[in-house]
Structure 1
Amino acid sequence: MSTWPVVSLSQLSDGYISPVARSKAPLFCSVISIYITIPIIGLFFTGVPGSMVVTWTTFNKTESKVEYGLLGGRLFDMSAKGDAALFVDSGEEMRKMYIHRVTLTDLKPTATYVYHCGSEEGWSDMFSFTALNDSTSFSPRFAVYGDMGNENPQSLARLQKETQLGMYDVILHVGDFAYDMHEDNARVGDEFMRQIQSIAAYVPYMTCPGNHESTYNFSNYRNRFSMPGQTESLWYSWNLGSAHIISLSTEVYFYLEFGQELLFKQYEWLKKDLEEANKPENRAVRPWIITMGHRPMYCSDDDQDDCTKFDSYVRLGLNDTKPPAPGLEDLFYHYGVDVELWAHEHTYERLWPVYGDKVYNGSKEQPYVNPKAPVHIITGSAGCREKTDRFNPNPKEWSAFRSTDYGYTRMQVVNATHLYLEQVSDDQYGKVIDSIWVVKEKHGFSAWF
């Protein structure tokens, strides 16, 4: 049984807004309220301590305003204004929507705030969030998963409940949303955002792009999510507790028609970001480097996808570009990346520490204690219309544990030396079917030797 901590359930409100006001107000209730016409309210961490971005959507141009206050204090005694950007979907109807973004600043670490958003023309229900702890000794708790769609989102109900129970500080959605956000002139995207609101309105929902976001040059993804940095959420990094977390786009290796230069631009950015994270003064306070990207470097699924051929573009790069495009395995190894989170394959797979297609365990008895290569986790079985994948019956030696159950991963960066991972099976009613402790007394390139 998991010892994952649980706290009290947040209060939800079920306000009513008239049909006339629905076109102007950000209205969200439960996922079964099919008459609702406006998509999500979501929280995204800016990467700057003491701040949070609140995002919502309306179909009319209105003011962008968030009213908020400390839990237990006077409601809405603070307010902040932002901007609304027009997003025109590229489908036949060219549907228009306004994406509102308001940044809340000077938040007190660990304090809980109650908020609503909208304008004098209509307000959302009330929601709450806890400002992230900015201490490097903080032990953040994550839910990690990819590949969750509107149809057959099997893990969603359990994730909604656990989020509202206060079990997570941050959500990491490792690509592939809705299946697909652009469909039905982006109405599928609207519905997906409503579905995850009962998660994303309460904790920061951090993302990376997957292949199912590629239509119209990833426009639904780039417009609907608000990640740190200036790259339209394609790649970015941020710090939390003793971890430096990097989100990247594996899709730059597969959709060269949208700009081959993106591949090289991301690689150079990754190199500079890793160089900065590895400066002794930075790695001393944030020793863990964790990456999240959609398509894995390794996997043992039997679906003839990129990583099943053991020649992953993400891992080894491309030779048919000018100049040849470098892969990411050597880069991540050289800069001592500790844990690599992936999805795309609709399964869960834990690998032994691996580099260059070879296993480098810490020891036979304790493979994840001072491992000699990065630890890879594939967690793409949250649930979607494409169902789960099958496994190759004869995996390579780096495959340590595999499951085709629907589910998701929990991760806690406990301190500078200990990181905990466990896999939850939704098929088995929330049972923890796999768990490991990654223990590292040293971090960085020198830790491999």
Structure 2
Amino acid sequence: MRKSVIILLCLLAQILQAKENFQILYGPYLQNMTENEVTILWKTNRRAISWVEIAPQSGQHFYAEEHPRIYQTSFGKKVISKLHKVRITGLNKGATYKYRICSQEVINQEERYVQYGKTASSIVLHKEPLTFTTLDNEKASVKFWMVNDIHAQNEILHKLVGDIKDKADFVVFNGDMLSDIRSEKHIFNGFMNEAIKSFASEIPFFYCRGNHENRGQFSTEFINYFPTNTGMPYYTFRQGPAFFIVLDSGEDKPDNDIAYYGLSDFESYLKQEVAWLKNIVLSRDFKEAPYKIVFVHIPPVGMSWYGSLLVKKQFVPILNDAGIDLMLCAHFHRYLYNEKGQDGCNFPIIVNSNIDVTKVNVDNSGIALEIQDTLGVKIKQFHFKR
């Protein structure tokens, strides 16, 4: 009887899905941006092959000519999926491009036959196409905004970054955008739909994983939705005069704590990250950058919990000898500032609260930083000179 009910429910779900129009559910949004490459992601309600049509920014309408298609492929074959990730290469640094995403439904796939359905795409007919601008290591300055510990409070996220257009090169999510990751729908309803509506289709964001992104049954899928150039939640990138290190601080309690149900092994994981970090600070790209800025969710100061102590033990000795100009943290849900030299750290540390946005501008005069609340009122201001 139970088996029959399950079969009936599955058939009913298939019938309802068949009646629903093929469509793009979420996205697009930009990830893993570099000088010459970018990944564009989106989600459809049914399986499809997907591509991006791209063109340099110009005065021509998108329909003035045919544009090349860059497909989502895997080892030479087009990918059939609901989650679409198209990596675009061969771009020019500091250049602006317009683009359209397209997905064609795959209704049926057999050994020697594929049946295609309708195509869904972003709109370019009655509105301007989406655009993005690649990074540029030679740019004289870099501007970015950072928010953190939003915990699915979309209203706060909107107030903090809703007016970012043309004001920053990128955004940093410094962890705990959700309290846990339960499902794909949870990711998008929790904060990504708001991010996409506000900026993420045209301005990239770089994600620094927090401890709460490690929780929930869907948390192991994190890297599939937020890909990086290392394939890991820790990575580096550069824009203008600044070299950025994004660290993963893991969890805030020991691996054997009952809160993790025997599923945590961050101590081993962080040892691998430490080995990676040692090589990064020895690299020519790192050494030649005028400024070095580190993002890490859990600060190495401010409390005596396991997470903060472990970050201090594992990362700070390496960073102390590396000439770091600034560390930006989160986690405490309150503002904190540690001057250079405090608590054994040879660099200043700023912890952003969960209801403020940190806005940073880096140029040849130094690092200018301003913290604003949800009303746009300036809370704190710093200028770290070279």
Q: State TM-score, norm by structure 1.
A: 0.67
Higher helix share: 2
Structure 1 distance, partners of 2:33, 2:134, is: 11
Offset at residue 65 of structure 1 (A): 0.6
1:16 aligns to what? none
Structure 2 distance, partners of 1:249, 1:23, is: 40
Structure 2 distance, partners of 1:195, 1:23, is: 23
- Pair 1:288-2:291 in alignment: yes
Q: Contact between 2:253 and 2:307, CA under 8 Å: does it hold in 1?
A: no
Q: How large is the Cα RMSD of the aligned pairs?
A: 2.7
Structure 2 distance, partners of 1:289, 1:217, is: 33
5+ residue gaps, structure 2, are 1-16, 75-80, 105-118, 256-262
The amino acid of 2:222's aligned partner reads: Y
Q: Contact between 2:301 and 2:343, CA under 8 Å: does it hold in 1?
A: no
1:67 aligns to what? 53
1:377 aligns to what? 350
Match of 1:50 among 27, 32, 36: 36
2:110 aligns to what? none
Structure 2 distance, partners of 1:181, 1:117, is: 26
Structure 2 distance, partners of 1:235, 1:23, is: 39
Match of 1:79 among 62, 69, 73: 69
- Pair 1:169-2:169 in alignment: yes
Q: Contact between 1:295 and 1:314, CA under 8 Å: does it hold in 2?
A: no
Structure 2 distance, partners of 1:336, 1:152, is: 37
CA 1:23–1:237 in 2, change beyond 3 Å: closer, same or farther?
farther
Structure 2 distance, partners of 1:328, 1:108, is: 34
Structure 1 distance, partners of 2:237, 2:19, is: 38
- Pair 1:141-2:143 in alignment: yes
- Pair 1:268-2:275 in alignment: yes
CA 1:42–1:21 in 2, change beyond 3 Å: closer, same or farther?
farther
Structure 1 distance, partners of 2:168, 2:296, is: 20
2:382 aligns to what? 436
CA 1:23–1:249 in 2, change beyond 3 Å: closer, same or farther?
farther
2:368 aligns to what? 420
The answer to which of 242-251 and 149-158 deviates more is 149-158
Following superposition of structure 1 onto structure 2, how do residues 120-159 of structure 1 map, counting pairs within 5 Å?
Answer: 120=104, 121-125=119-123, 127-151=129-153, 153-159=155-161
CA 1:212–1:125 in 2, change beyond 3 Å: closer, same or farther?
farther
Following superposition of structure 1 onto structure 2, how do residues 202-351 of structure 1 map, counting pairs within 5 Å?
Answer: 202-214=202-214, 215-216=216-217, 218-231=219-232, 234-251=233-250, 254=253, 256=255, 257-259=263-265, 260-276=267-283, 279=284, 283-284=287-288, 286-299=289-302, 307=303, 312-317=308-313, 327-351=314-338
- Pair 1:356-2:304 in alignment: no
Offset at residue 331 of structure 1 (A): 1.3
- Where 1:63 maps in the other structure, the secondary structure is strand
CA 1:69–1:251 in 2, change beyond 3 Å: closer, same or farther?
same
Structure 2 distance, partners of 1:314, 1:340, is: 16
Query: Which deviations, in whole Å up to 9, do the C-alpha atoms of 1:121-141 show, x marking residues without a partner?
Result: 211345533323424243111
- Where 2:146 maps in the other structure, the secondary structure is strand
Structure 2 distance, partners of 1:341, 1:249, is: 13
Offset at residue 202 of structure 1 (A): 1.2
2:77 aligns to what? none
CA 1:157–1:129 in 2, change beyond 3 Å: closer, same or farther?
farther
Q: Contact between 2:181 and 2:217, CA under 8 Å: does it hold in 1?
A: no
5+ residue gaps, structure 1, are 1-18, 27-37, 85-96, 300-306, 318-326, 359-372, 382-405, 441-449
Query: Which deviations, in whole Å up to 9, do the C-alpha atoms of 1:67-122 show, x marking residues without a partner?
Result: 122332341623311148xxxxxxxxxxxx73211122232333332222132421
1:11 aligns to what? none
Percent identity over the alignment is: 20
Q: Contact between 1:292 and 1:342, CA under 8 Å: does it hold in 2?
A: yes
CA 1:339–1:265 in 2, change beyond 3 Å: closer, same or farther?
same
Task: Give the number of aligned pairs.
Answer: 331
